[in-house]
Amino acid sequence: MVIIMRKKIRLVIDNDVLKRYDDYYFSQHPKAQKRPIPHPYHESINIWMIMKRPMMNALKQRWKDFIKWFVKEQGYANLRIDECEIYQTVYYATNRRHDIDNSIGKFLYDGLVESGMIVDDSSQHIKKITLTCGVDATNPRTELKITINKYADEVCNTEIKEEN
């Protein structure tokens, strides 16, 4: 009998994380004036899909750099997760109407791949993405709950255990 227990990782991107990233970013780019990531949630697809290609690529690169830094800070770089499910919840600061399908974290997932946390963001590796939205005026944030089904490396596969 084979018992597969899933490991769960919870990543929370909030204003405290952005403050730490700002400190890091401005130490690396002392002449920079503008915050690279202005709020703790991915831009709406309605925003980035109408950008000119160079602007969209710059936005994508800023998010990938941020996520790579964040994953490394959390100690999850190079996990090489081969198969997982992602539950993404975005808590906005206002009760303004938000279309849930516009909150897809395309650049977040690209950053998870760049960091080595996930092998790839194709359907072969990310089996399911669940999107939910909420409002938290005092603590806007993005929460990613990643349920790991399988690691790419055998060494990691033996270490899968249940976490809350």
pLDDT digits (tens, 9 = 90+) for 89-116: 999 999 888 787 778 888 999 999 999 9
Task: Please say whether the beta carbons of 36 and 62 come within 8 A.
Answer: yes
Q: What is the pLDDT of residue 16?
A: 98
Range 7-28+39-157 classified under CATH 3.30.1330.70: yes
User: Higher pLDDT residue, 92 or 162?
Assistant: 92
Q: What is the pLDDT of residue 113?
A: 97
Phi, psi of 9 (to 5 degrees): -120, 135
Using pLDDT thresholds of 50, 70 and 90, give the confidence band for residue 126: very high
Phi, psi of 100 (to 5 degrees): -60, -35
Task: Please say whether the beta carbons of 13 and 40 come within 8 A.
Answer: yes
Residues 155, 4: Cα–Cα separation, whole Å: 15
Q: What is the pLDDT of residue 128?
A: 96
